[in-house]
Amino acid sequence: MKRYNLLLQNIPDFVKHLQAQGEVLAPHTKGDNSFSFDKVTDANNVILDYNRTLQSIRKFFLPPTERLLNYSLTENTFTKVEIENNQRIFLGVHSYDMQAVLKLDFNFSDRTPEVNYLKRRENCTFIGVSFEPDDFHFSRSVGITVEATEGFDIFLNRHENGYEVQVLTERGEGIIKGFNALENAPELAETNRQFKNKIKFNHNRLPEVMEQSWKSPVWDEVAKRCVGCGTCNLVCPTCYCFNVVDNVDLSLKDGSRDRHWDGCMLNSFAAVAGGENFRETLASRQRHRIYRKFKYITDKTGDPWCVGCGRCAAYCTADISIVEIINQLSDEFEQNYLRKSAAPAEQII
């Protein structure tokens, strides 16, 4: 691995160097206190020092709304929609959001590989950046450090007056080639940034905790405070559920079949004809969301399907924290099952 040093004052030039090679997507300010990944038009507007973006970069691979096909009502025919896969360089991605993309890669290639997502994933370069964990990040608890480089082509590790540039792949090397404003790498002590927010148990024990939590009173307690707004699904970088609707234009002659993000916390997500709603209560929906992150997919892949970005808690207007939920379930598990370890665990599920 090649290492360099990038001084703060050279960052705009670095961004311009990237822009010469493809579309660059990077964090910008949004609103009063927030950030969002957008296409770079002015290199000076790129922000590398940020806590989290409102939406993760999944929006570039699974857009909030996406046209699946166009049709003509008068002809009763459809045309295919071209899926763009231009060279794109993602600059300033946090380790947990990169891990989330790798998880979505699994979801969209597993069993029925979907060309819409997978094609958009081609020709992407990822340049990671370190961050200072705030009160909501807890990636460490799900096995992702600030400095985790998996998935990145280049990683920028912040130090006092700039970034240590780690060139991780051939692609990364190709991207950086010709950029001369790099210095020799600084001698850095091993960095290992600490997280304030933590899950109590090691994450590999959580499926076991969930196994015993189906009937926990925690679900009802959380449901009392939850308004079912779906925010926690819609901001989650590893959520990928969607709805499909047909839209027609005003001529009533042409239209499109479109999909848009959906979420299992929403009231009618599991409702079918005849009035049956298979997850009618907020408690059952909250439980499903948490199990999706720490049990269902985990049982199949061995990994938690939450990357600890903290978005669901940071953006929940009711201040519901996934870490608190997990820790409450863990406390209960400890009290009910570990203390009386002599008794065999009751099979609840």
Partner 1 sequence: MTLSTQEHNPRELYYPEMAEITAIKQYTELEKWYEITLPGGRDLEHQPGQFAIFSLFGIGEAAISICSAPSKKGAFDICVRKVGMLTEKLHQLEIGQKIGVRGPFGTGFPVADFKGKDILIIGGGIGIVPLRSLINHVIDNRDDFGRLVILYGAKNPQELLFPDELQKWNDDPRIEYQVTVDQGSPEWQGNTGVITTLIPGLDLDLDNTIAAIVGPPIMYKFVLMALKSKRLPDENIYMSLERRMKCGVGKCGHCQINDSYVCLDGPVYHFPDIKNLPEAI
Partner 2 sequence: MTTQTAPKTKIKIAYFDFTSCEGCQLNKLNLENHILDLLEHVEIVEFREAMDDKADSYDVAFIEGSISTPTCVERIHDIRRRAKILVALGSCASIGGINAMKNLQPIEDVREIVYGEDKYLFPTLPAMPLSAIVKVDYEIHGCPMSIPEFLQVFKALAMGKAPIKPDSPVCVECKLRENECLFDRGMVCLGPITRSGCDAICPSFGQFCTGCRGLVPNPNKNAMLDILTDHGLSLQEAEKRLLLFNSYQHPDTFK
Ligand X SMILES: Cc1cc2nc3c(=O)[nH]c(=O)nc-3n(C[C@H](O)[C@H](O)[C@H](O)COP(=O)(O)OP(=O)(O)OC[C@H]3O[C@@H](n4cnc5c(N)ncnc54)[C@H](O)[C@@H]3O)c2cc1C
Question: Within positions 296 to 315, which residues make up the interface with ligand SF4, using CB under 6 A?
Answer: 306-312
**Residue 156 beta carbon to partner 1: minimum distance, rounded to whole angstroms:** 16
Q: What is the separation, in whole angstroms, between the first and last Cα of the chain?
A: 48
**Residue 169 beta carbon to partner 1: minimum distance, rounded to whole angstroms:** 7
**Per-residue buried b or exposed e for 52-91, using 16+ beta carbons within 10 Å of the residue's own CB:** bbebbbbbbbbeeebeeeebeeeeeeeeeeeeeeeebbbb
If binding is defined by CB under 8 A, does position 73 make contact with partner 2? Answer: yes
* Window 187-226: contact mask with partner 1 (x via CB under 8 A): ---------------------------x------------
Q: What is the residue whose two structure tokens read 């049982």?
A: 299
Q: What is the residue whose two structure tokens read 């409102």?
A: 54
If binding is defined by CB under 6 A, does position 241 make contact with ligand SF4? Answer: yes
CA atoms of 277 and 31, how far apart (whole Å) = 37
Q: What is the residue whose two structure tokens read 């199990």?
A: 291
* Window 169-188: contact mask with partner 1 (x via CB under 8 A): x-x-----------------
Task: State the pairing for strand pair 183-184/242-248.
Answer: unpaired
Of 171, 228, 296, 331, the residue at the interface with partner 2 (CB under 8 A) is 228
Q: Are 203 and 143 in contact (CB under 8 A)?
A: yes
If binding is defined by CB under 6 A, does position 57 make contact with ligand SF4? Answer: no
Whose Cβ is closer to partner 2: residue 43's or residue 73's?
73
Closest CA to 90 of 168, 11, 18, 13: 18
If binding is defined by CB under 6 A, does position 268 make contact with ligand X? Answer: yes
Whose Cβ is closer to partner 2: residue 64's or residue 217's?
64
Q: Give residues in contact with ligand X (CB under 6 A).
A: 268, 271-273
Q: Give residues in contact with ligand SF4 (CB under 6 A).
A: 226-233, 235-241, 263-265, 289, 292-293, 306-312, 316-318, 320, 322
